């Protein structure tokens, strides 16, 4: 019988965290929840604490933690409530924790995810920004401390499943020609370009296949999510940018593919449900039931594959540019994108301003290689400052009626 895995779930109230707990609840003999963390969704977190009785619950600020602690006492629970980034790092490196689900969105997840790797944990990586912003530092930490790294993004998990079990980072030795990452194309794959200036946050968050948080939904609409995944694949699989290709696949049934030199192409298929990669990583190398319906290919019908439209998705091109530039360019890219998406969701930017802001910040910020966590965070801070300044200038100009938004060609 498999040993019990003791888990910390960073970002338990988001879509990945909720799906992780759904799988965990199906296997109480295999998984025990030690710690849960959330940014602000205290109602969901309280319900999770009642169901799973973790030793620790973490929120981001003291007032929310004090209020939540009172709710924990009133519920008759013994969960200890902590707050702040240091608390996230603490629960990610607890000696009684074996496995850490890293599902905090954005660079906010970097420090606790890095702490988990430095503690030699089994890290289930859903926080792609840890690799995008600090790829060399993160991978060196994983190797130096003997951590186990398993990808949760459906694309990278599909590549992982399609590579040989003995893959050690040498594509040539395994006969791999290319890694093909699939992307749905999001809600605007066929929308006329002249309509892009009128796209609303609600439209951008209405993904046709996946249920995700608002930030990731916007990233999927712009295909920046796929761009970040290209950078993540570079670090996970030691793949140079010229050996990573993106294929638009609207049905989201083929989650990614590996092309071999003998002409074989191996892919992982399944319904678009994040419980599949989550369960795969949780039980690896075994397989467990996760509640996902079996794939019915006859019902799925035709599967389409298209080349990405670079004029429609300039953010994807910017991500490839940042990867090729190397050093800290991907850190700058991520910071600028986080600011741009935040302002778009708050209706402070036009949809077409997102790639314009990112491109401007990439051009303006010198991006030396980051060797330490402080290097990464300082570069991120500088890029965010440039992004906020660009946004402020754009809003001011728009208010004066002097700006015209145009699609990047």
| Same-domain check for residues 89 and 170 | no
Query: Which of 151, 169, 195 is the endpoint of a domain?
Result: 151
- Residue pair 329/199 in contact by the 8 Å Cβ criterion: no
| Same-domain check for residues 193 and 106 | no
Judge whether 96 lies within some domain. yes
Distances (CA, A) of 369 to 221, 375, 386: 29, 8, 19
Q: Does an H or E element contain 60, and which?
A: none
**Residue 2: per-residue pLDDT:** 81
Judge whether 389 lies within some domain. no
| Same-domain check for residues 229 and 139 | no
**Residue 40: per-residue pLDDT:** 86
Number of Cα atoms under 13 Å in the Cβ half of residue 289: 6
pLDDT tens-digit series, residues 141-153:
999 999 999 999 9
| Same-domain check for residues 46 and 175 | no
**Residue 394: per-residue pLDDT:** 81
Structure tokens at 199: 């796209």
Residue 1's pLDDT band, with cuts at 50, 70 and 90, is confident
Beta strand pairing status for 176-183 and 148-151? unpaired
User: For 126-196, where are the E strands, in sequence order?
Assistant: 148-151, 176-183
Judge whether 358 lies within some domain. no
**Residue 213: per-residue pLDDT:** 83
Burial 47-83 (b: 16+ CB within 10 A, else e): ebbeebebbbbbbbeeebbeebbebbeeeebebebbb
| Same-domain check for residues 186 and 236 | yes
Residue 383's pLDDT band, with cuts at 50, 70 and 90, is very high
Number of domains in the chain: 2
pLDDT tens-digit series, residues 24-62:
999 999 999 999 999 989 999 999 999 999 999 999 999
Contacts of 25 (CB under 8 A, 6+ apart): 51, 52
> For residue 196, with 0-12 CB atoms within 10 Å meaning exposed, 13-18 middle and 19 or more buried, which class applies?
middle
| Same-domain check for residues 142 and 160 | no
**Residue 288: per-residue pLDDT:** 97
Structure-model confidence comparison of residues 402 and 154, the more confident one: 154
Q: Which domain holds residue 252?
A: 153-313
Judge whether 386 lies within some domain. no
pLDDT at 403 over 60: no
**Residue 378: per-residue pLDDT:** 96
pLDDT at 400 over 90: no
Residue 402's pLDDT band, with cuts at 50, 70 and 90, is very low
**Residue 406: per-residue pLDDT:** 35
Arithmetic mean of pLDDT over the chain:
94
Distances (CA, A) of 157 to 62, 108, 233, 275, 400: 36, 22, 10, 12, 48
| Same-domain check for residues 181 and 296 | yes
Of 266, 298, 292, the closest CA to residue 279 belongs to 292
**Residue 396: per-residue pLDDT:** 63
Structure tokens at 100: 């850490």
Judge whether 135 lies within some domain. yes
- Residue pair 362/336 in contact by the 8 Å Cβ criterion: yes
**Residue 246: per-residue pLDDT:** 98
| Same-domain check for residues 107 and 168 | no
How much of the chain is in helix, strand and coil states, percent to nearest 5? Answer: 50, 15, 35
Distances (CA, A) of 25 to 28, 58, 75: 6, 20, 20
Judge whether 52 lies within some domain. yes
Judge whether 371 lies within some domain. no
| Same-domain check for residues 68 and 96 | yes
| Same-domain check for residues 172 and 249 | yes
Query: Which of 288, 313, 338 is the endpoint of a domain?
Result: 313
Of 173, 157, 346, 186, the closest CA to residue 270 belongs to 157
Across the range 98-117, mean pLDDT stands at 96
| Same-domain check for residues 293 and 175 | yes
**Residue 212: per-residue pLDDT:** 79
CA distance 63 to 13: 19
pTM assigned to the model:
0.93
- Residue pair 331/133 in contact by the 8 Å Cβ criterion: yes
Contacts of 60 (CB under 8 A, 6+ apart): 39, 40, 83, 84, 85
CA distance 333 to 319: 7
Of 331, 339, 319, the closest CA to residue 387 belongs to 339
CA distance 42 to 396: 36
pLDDT tens-digit series, residues 181-223:
999 999 999 999 999 999 999 999 998 877 778 999 999 999 9
Give the domain CATH number at 46.
Answer: 3.40.50.720
The three-point CA angle 122-177-229 to 5° equals: 45
Structure-model confidence comparison of residues 40 and 382, the more confident one: 382
């Amino acid at each position: 019988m498999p040993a019990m895995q003791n888990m910390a779930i960073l970002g338990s109230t988001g879509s990945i965290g909720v799906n992780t707990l759904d799988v965990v609840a199906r296997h109480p003999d295999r998984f025990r929840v030690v710690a849960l963390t959330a940014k602000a969704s205290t109602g969901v977190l309280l319900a999770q604490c009642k169901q799973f009785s973790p030793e620790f619950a973490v929120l981001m600020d003291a007032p929310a933690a004090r209020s939540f602690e009172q709710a924990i006492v009133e519920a008759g629970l013994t969960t200890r409530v902590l707050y702040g980034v240091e608390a996230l790092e603490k629960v990610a490196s607890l000696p009684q924790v074996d496995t850490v689900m890293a599902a905090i969105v954005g660079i906010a997840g970097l420090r606790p995810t890095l702490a988990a790797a430095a503690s030699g944990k089994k890290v289930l990586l859903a926080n792609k920004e840890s690799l995008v912003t600090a790829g060399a530092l993160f991978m060196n930490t994983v190797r130096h401390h003997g951590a186990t790294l398993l990808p949760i993004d459906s694309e990278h998990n599909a590549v992982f499943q399609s590579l040989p079990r003995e893959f050690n980072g040498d594509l040539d030795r395994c006969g791999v020609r290319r890694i093909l990452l699939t992307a749905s194309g999001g809600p605007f794959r066929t929308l006329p370009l002249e309509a892009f200036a009128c796209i609303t946050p609600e439209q951008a968050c209405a993904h046709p296949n996946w249920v995700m948080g608002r930030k990731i939904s916007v990233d999927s609409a712009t295909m920046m999510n796929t761009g970040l995944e290209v950078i993540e694949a570079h670090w996970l699989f030691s793949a140079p940018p010229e050996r990573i290709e993106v294929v638009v696949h609207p049905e989201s049934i083929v989650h990614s593919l590996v092309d071999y030199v003998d002409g074989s192409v191996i892919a992982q298929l399944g319904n678009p449900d994040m419980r599949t990669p989550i369960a795969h990583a949780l039980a690896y190398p075994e397989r467990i039931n996760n509640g996902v319906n079996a794939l019915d290919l006859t019902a799925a019908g035709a599967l389409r594959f298209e080349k990405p439209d670079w004029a429609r998705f300039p953010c994807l091109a910017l991500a490839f540019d940042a990867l090729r530039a190397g050093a800290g360019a991907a850190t700058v890219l991520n910071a600028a994108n986080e600011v741009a998406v935040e302002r778009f969701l708050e209706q402070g930017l036009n949809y077409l301003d997102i790639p314009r802001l990112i491109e401007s910040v990439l051009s303006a910020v010198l991006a030396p290689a980051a060797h330490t966590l402080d290097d990464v965070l300082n570069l991120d801070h500088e890029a965010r400052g440039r992004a906020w300044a660009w946004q402020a200038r754009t809003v001011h100009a728009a208010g004066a009626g002097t700006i015209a938004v145009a699609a990047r060609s």
